[in-house]
Amino acid sequence: MKLLYGLSSSLADSYENAVIETIKFAIQNDFKVVEIFCETPDVLPDEISDGKIREIRELANSYNLRIQLHAPFHSLNLSSFNPKIKNVSMKIIRDTISLAYKLESSLVTLHLGLCFLPCQLDRKKALTILADSITDLLKFAKNYNITLAIENRGGRLDLGRLEDLLFILETVSHENLGITFDVVQANAVGDPLIYYESLKGNIVNMHISDSPRGKSLLLAVGEGEINYRELVRRIIKDNINVPLIFEVSNKDKAIQSRAVLEGYFKEIKSD
């Protein structure tokens, strides 16, 4: 078993050309996966040019680099009580799925939505709306052989706490549904190891950064207080061979984080 390291394009220096910059950096530094953050101007779903799609696909394929997508999430709400807002959110996720297919990607990460006042008054209804939205999106994604990975979140208004994810996993068909386990988001609201144990059977992707307890900063692994040594031990024990995507504040911290995780990996494997 080897750990599979990747980068989020959110750590690029250039906002206008973030994806190509990240892909080139990944190739130069032997990262195997790039997760495209679909909020930058060059890769907005349904607006990206055919030429840019072809450039990304050909560059990635020429170096056997895996591409996966992170759907837009600012202002999107798959659990909205307002059908118009929910439908716009659904369209943007569908557009992201279609883009993933054009880029020969098989994984799209998405956020579940936001819990504003209506949701706070009737969270059960919000989760029911959310389950219906996810079900429809899974049917659409299945046509393209794409897995949807719902991400845990720790923000005050975010849906995506552990209980929300477990509700979706229990309510919705699992065939092409997985979890993107964001370690630092779990750290913001609890113990990441508890999240991991509860979700490990469904984890298909991980977001990696470090932070002090109770916070969600984008520090390099080893700069915060998350017990990554124990997390790596459990990943090895459970044979969780999924992309470890570094969502840190810059590219140097990604290099630093990989070195720390690889050190833990070698120590544990040699025991």
CATH number at residue 194: 3.20.20.150
Domain that holds residue 144: 4-270
Q: How many structural domains comprise the chain?
A: 1
The pLDDT assigned to 76 comes to 92
pLDDT computed for residue 47 by the predictor: 94
d(CA 51, CA 38): 16
Nearest to 130 by CA among 97, 160, 99: 160
Distance between CA 265 and CA 170 in Å, rounded?
Answer: 33
According to the model, what pLDDT value does residue 226 have? Answer: 98
**Integer CA distances (angstroms), 41 to 14, 48, 103, 165, 244, in order:** 11, 8, 17, 30, 25
The verdict on pTM exceeding 0.95 is yes
User: Which pLDDT score is estimated for 36?
Assistant: 98
Q: What is the pLDDT of residue 235?
A: 97
**What is the rounded distance in angstroms from the CA atom of residue 186 to the CA atom of residue 61?**
33
Helix (H, G, I), strand (E, B) or coil at 38: coil
Check: CB of residue 210 under 8 Å from CB of residue 226: yes
Predicted confidence (pLDDT) per residue in 15-32, tens digit: 889 999 999 999 999 999
The predicted pLDDT at position 174 comes to 78
Q: Which pair of structure tokens corresponds to residue 106?
A: 């098989």
Positions in the chain short of pLDDT 70? none
> Which is nearest to 208 in space by CA: 179, 241, 183?
183
pLDDT for residue 41: 85
DSSP 231: H
Predicted local confidence at residue 75, as pLDDT: 84
- Helix, strand, or coil (residue 261): helix
Q: How many CA atoms lie within 13 A of 146 on its CB side?
A: 32
Q: What pLDDT does residue 253 have? A: 98
